[in-house]
Amino acid sequence: METSSDLAVRLTRASRRMQWDVYNAITWPDQLVEGAWWMPPELVSIYGTSAWDALDETQRKSLSKYELGNFFSLVLQGERPLVAGLSDRLYARSNDKNITQYLHHFLDEENKHMVMFGEFCHRYIGKVYPEKKISLPREYAKGEEEVAFFCKVMVVEELGDYYNTTIEKDERIEPMVREVNRIHHVDEARHLAFGRQHLAEVFEQHRAKWSDEQLTGFRQWLVDYLKASWGDYYNPTMYRDAGLDDGYELRQLAMTHPACAAQRQRASAKLVSYFIKTGLLAEEPAL
Ligand SMILES: [Fe+2]
Ligand SMILES: [Fe+2]
């Protein structure tokens, strides 16, 4: 079977072949096409609720713009600790030369993504939304921090990729918005392939040394982390920027409404099935 080290060799080759320059590859128009959707309506956080039904077309499109800005911002904010963590792992004793070589590309590509998302958000939204997630200090069992790091990578990348691929295919979406999603997906397909294989190996290697209690605790942390990540999609400031003044109520609505829960379940299906297949989770969590 192909190991993550073997896979890293192939992915390094692909990254070199497909190398791109973030400063010259993209021509940013002064203005984006008026009246287009930025986030597909079905992916807007309050779609399917009475609050959505109450909005007219202009309000819905305005919300779809800020939802997209929030989405790009939260991917960017997830890439910051990802780059830091990858950098910490370069030339680590536990990683062979092939993996370190690929991590250089992974890190380089994530840095470019942050430049791209940052540029888009500054130009067309006027800001990058700040990070909201609070990281609680906790004690780790041996190897747990390593497994947790690659789980966080999978969460930001798999959820992000669900949005990227859905938006990229949607003809109702503003062309530049589609293009940025497409560019991101091309690099992410390699990161996801590596992450899936590498995390499975890292988990396999460490879980044998964990007690049942530690494994249960870890799974609980993972479910909580996944839920917190979904919370980031329901940003009160984003609702306010779209001209809706009850931002906290809308966040609450999105977190509790069955239509929104069904959407979370759909968007997380691939990720959750990976976690179950590898044993990182024992069962499908209620999201
Ligand atoms: Fe990325
Ligand atoms: Fe990535």
Residue in the block written with tokens 């982390």: 225
Q: CA-CA distance, 194 to 98, in Å (whole number)?
A: 12
106 Cα to the center of ligand 2, angstroms: 7
pLDDT for residue 141: 80
78 Cα to the center of ligand 1, angstroms: 9
Q: CA-CA distance, 2 to 243, in Å (whole number)?
A: 51
Share of the chain above pLDDT 70, in %: 99
Look up residue 11 and give its amino acid: L
246 Cα to the center of ligand 1, angstroms: 31
pLDDT for residue 95: 83
Q: CA-CA distance, 239 to 253, in Å (whole number)?
A: 12
157 Cα to the center of ligand 2, angstroms: 6
Question: Is the pLDDT at 63 greater than 80, yes or no?
Answer: yes
pLDDT for residue 248: 97
Name the band, by pLDDT with cuts 50, 70 and 90, for residue 197: very high
Q: CA-CA distance, 250 to 264, in Å (whole number)?
A: 16
How far, CA to CA in Å, does 13 sit from each of 82, 90, 161? 22, 18, 22
Cβ-proximal residues to 149 (8 Å cutoff; 6+ apart), any chain: 85
Q: CA-CA distance, 30 to 22, in Å (whole number)?
A: 17
How far, CA to CA in Å, does 48 sit from each of 18, 60, 137, 197, 252? 40, 12, 37, 36, 14
Question: Is the pLDDT at 7 greater than 90, yes or no?
Answer: yes
What ligand has the least distance to the C-alpha of 79? 1
pLDDT tens digits for range 24-52? 999 999 999 999 999 999 999 999 999 99
The model's pTM is: 0.96
Contact 17, 190 (CB under 8 A): no
Least confident segment among 33-37, 134-138, 226-230, 273-277 = 134-138
233 Cα to the center of ligand 1, angstroms: 17
Contact 67, 238 (CB under 8 A): yes
Map residue 153 onto helix, strand or coil.
helix
113 Cα to the center of ligand 1, angstroms: 5
- What the block records as the tokens of 93 is 């004793």
Contacts 24+ apart (CB under 8 A), 274-279: 274/154, 274/158, 274/196, 275/151, 275/154, 275/222, 278/199, 278/200, 278/203, 279/203, 279/207
pLDDT tens digits for range 230-273? 999 999 999 999 999 899 999 999 999 999 999 999 999 999 99
Contact 110, 86 (CB under 8 A): yes
Of the options 3.90.180.10, 1.10.620.20, 3.40.50.360, 3.40.640.10, the CATH number for the domain spanning 4-23+42-278: 1.10.620.20
Q: Cα–chain-centroid distance for residue 130? A: 15
40 Cα to the center of ligand 1, angstroms: 20
Give bridge partners of residue 173 from the DSSP assignment: 37
Residue 94 or 259, more confident: 259
Q: CA-CA distance, 49 to 254, in Å (whole number)?
A: 8
58 Cα to the center of ligand 1, angstroms: 31
- What the block records as the tokens of 139 is 């004690």
Residue in the block written with tokens 């690659």: 150
Nearest CA-CA partner of 260 in 284, 233, 240: 233
63 Cα to the center of ligand 2, angstroms: 26
Question: Could you count the other beta carbons within 10 Å of the beta carbon of residue 128?
Answer: 20
pLDDT tens digits for range 150-176? 999 999 999 999 999 999 999 999 999
User: What's the whole-number mean pLDDT along residues 49-75?
Assistant: 98
What ligand has the least distance to the C-alpha of 115? 1
Name the band, by pLDDT with cuts 50, 70 and 90, for residue 92: confident
Q: How high does pLDDT run on average in the chain? A: 96
276 Cα to the center of ligand 1, angstroms: 24
Name the band, by pLDDT with cuts 50, 70 and 90, for residue 94: confident
119 Cα to the center of ligand 2, angstroms: 17
User: What's the whole-number mean pLDDT along residues 176-193?
Assistant: 98
108 Cα to the center of ligand 2, angstroms: 10
